[in-house]
Amino acid sequence: MQAIPPSENELLKRLAEGDATAYRELFVRHWDAVYSSALLLSRSPDIAEDIAQEVFVTLWEKRAQLVQVEKLESYFFVMARNQLYSRLRKLSSQDAYRRYLLDYQQEVAHSGAEARAEFKELEGAIHSAIRRLPPQQQKAFRMSRFEGKGHEEIAQAMGVSRITIKSYIVQALASLRKFLAHYPGVPLLLYCALQPVVGG
């Protein structure tokens, strides 16, 4: 006899308690719909991919609040819409952000020994955080960020589905953000912005 799939309410309750299996189940059930909504709003596959990943990162980060959500599909749509609006607001300062990254790199390169040591410490914290990830998440994240591989390529190498790889990377980003929240200067944002990222 085939087991009855858990209801959304049950999955949300388990997710609120930190159940990663429930998170993956919700991810598999709703990724396509969230991506489609983001694509409809943005008309850009690349932006839709980014927004969908950000929605699921936020889902994990705010999991404790989800027991109050009644209609998950509506909740996801609003999240996707808000992520797009936030992105559009930032577009006007995108050039300034790029200049900031370049200036930061140049500043570190030409700064004194103390500043370079601080940067090395932050870099070490990032690698330490990555090593704390579960093995599968860590492997997928490294292949994505360090080797520039796409989700499909990683999925084939690891012998799992493409959507599972997406889930691993989203969870890895959420975990790294939480770990590195103790460090000022948004090192994860800077570090990941300088790494090759392929949507797959």
Calculate what percentage of the chain has a pLDDT beyond 90. 11
Does the pLDDT value for residue 181 go beyond 80?
no
Does the pLDDT value for residue 111 go beyond 60?
no
DSSP string, 137-175: HHHHHHHHHTS---HHHHHHHHTS-HHHHHHHHHHHHHH
190: its two tokens: 């800077």
Identify the residue with better confidence: 183 or 57: 57
User: Tokens 């577009």 appear where?
Assistant: 91
Return the closest-CA partner of residue 155 out of 200, 92, 98: 200
Distances (CA, A) of 8 to 24, 26, 29, 65, 128: 12, 8, 10, 14, 35
Note the pLDDT of residue 187.
45
Confidence band for 146, pLDDT divided at 50, 70 and 90: confident
The reported pTM is 0.55
Provide the H-helix boundaries in the chain. 8-16, 20-42, 45-61, 72-91, 94-110, 113-131, 135-145, 151-158, 162-180, 187-193
Domain positions in the chain are 8-91, 112-193
Identify the residue with better confidence: 185 or 125: 125
Whether the Cβ atoms of residue 57 and residue 170 lie closer than 8 Å to each other: yes
Whether the Cβ atoms of residue 115 and residue 108 lie closer than 8 Å to each other: yes
Whether the Cβ atoms of residue 9 and residue 148 lie closer than 8 Å to each other: no
For the domain made up of 8-91, give the CATH fold.
Rna Polymerase Sigma Factor; Chain: A (1.10.1740)
Class (C level, CATH) for 112-193: mainly alpha
189 half-sphere exposure, CB direction, 13 A CA radius:
10
- The per-residue pLDDT for range 6-62, each reduced to its tens digit, is 888 888 899 999 899 999 999 988 898 888 888 877 777 878 888 899 899 988 988
Identify the residue with better confidence: 25 or 105: 25
